[in-house]
């Protein structure tokens, strides 16, 4: 097979399962609003990566090579968004299971991965490291997209559920603000790690 599916699944699982901007947002949303209220946001985050995979599979990588200035600007716009998201997380206070009018929904979830540098790096790595040179764009993109979707359907809800369970333990305690600041710091640290690791690769 021209796409190393099993190897990519192992790689993808290591990326999707580990802390990053998307998972921190999922955990913080589950912690703040409860798992059930977070489901539309979880679905949006899960499908949002497809908005990256398909354009990248059909030539976005070539455009990135031909117009590096545009992509550099896009990269730092993404960083600014992630930092804003981290600031929001740091200032959240937990009310597990309490549904409010400002619960992030499906459309908010769709934006998370397109603005997530970790997602860009992971997808780029998938196409460059696990796809044979003779593979058609359609076959490669369909396989990468399908593998990532399968992993996200399992792992993204897990992060939101885990957030709700943490909230039940620390909500209203002296540990609450420290937890949210820690999540915010992990969000920023994950995106900085990806950027600097990519720059040194």
pLDDT digits (tens, 9 = 90+) for 39-89: 999 999 999 999 989 988 887 556 555 666 765 666 676 667 667 777 877
Query: Per residue in 167-191, pLDDT tens?
Result: 788 877 888 888 778 877 876 776 6
In three-state secondary structure terms, 131 is: strand
CB 135 within 8 A of CB 2: yes
The arithmetic mean of pLDDT across residues 34-42, rounded, is: 92
User: What's the CA gap between 141 and 89, in Å, rounded?
Assistant: 33
Task: Report residue 59 as tokens.
Answer: 């030539």
CA distances from 85 to 12, 19, 76, 171, 176 (A): 24, 14, 14, 20, 18
- Of all residues in the chain, the percent with pLDDT exceeding 90 is 20
Please, how many CA atoms are within 13 Å of residue 165, restricted to the half-sphere of its CB?
6
Structure confidence at residue 86 (pLDDT) = 74
User: What's the CA gap between 167 and 112, in Å, rounded?
Assistant: 22
CB 90 within 8 A of CB 184: yes
Query: Per residue in 104-140, pLDDT tens?
Result: 889 999 988 888 877 887 887 788 778 887 788 888 8
Model-level pTM?
0.72
Please, how many CA atoms are within 13 Å of residue 175, restricted to the half-sphere of its CB?
7
CB 190 within 8 A of CB 112: no
Give the range of the structural domain holding residue 64, as residue numbers without chain letter. 5-200
Neighbour count for residue 125 (Cβ, 10 Å): 16
Which DSSP category does 1 fall into?
A: -
Structure confidence at residue 201 (pLDDT) = 46
Q: How many domains does the chain have?
A: 1
The angle subtended at Cα 193 by Cα 190 and Cα 194, nearest 5°, is: 90
User: What's the CA gap between 192 and 123, in Å, rounded?
Assistant: 17
Q: Crossing angle for the helix pair 117-129 and 68-90, nearest 10 degrees?
A: 130
């Amino acid at each position: 097979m021209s796409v190393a599916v099993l190897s990519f699944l192992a790689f993808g699982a290591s990326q999707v399962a580990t802390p990053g901007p998307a998972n921190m947002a999922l955990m913080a949303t589950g912690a703040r609003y409860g798992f059930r209220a977070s489901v539309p946001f979880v679905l949006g985050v899960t499908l949002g990566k497809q908005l990256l995979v398909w354009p990248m599979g059909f030539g976005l990588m070539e455009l990135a090579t031909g117009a590096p200035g545009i992509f550099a600007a896009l990269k730092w716009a993404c960083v600014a968004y992630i930092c804003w998201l981290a600031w929001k997380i740091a200032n959240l206070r937990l009310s597990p299971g309490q549904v409010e009018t400002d619960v992030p929904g499906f459309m908010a979830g769709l934006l998370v991965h397109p603005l997530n540098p970790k997602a860009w790096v992971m997808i780029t790595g998938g196409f460059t490291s696990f796809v044979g040179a003779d593979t058609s764009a359609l076959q490669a993109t369909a396989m990468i997209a399908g593998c990532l979707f399968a992993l996200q359907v399992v792992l993204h809800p897990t992060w939101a559920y885990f957030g709700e369970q943490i909230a039940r333990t620390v909500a209203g305690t002296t540990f609450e603000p420290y937890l949210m600041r820690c999540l915010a710091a992990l969000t920023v640290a994950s995106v900085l790690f990806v950027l600097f690791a990519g720059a040194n690769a």
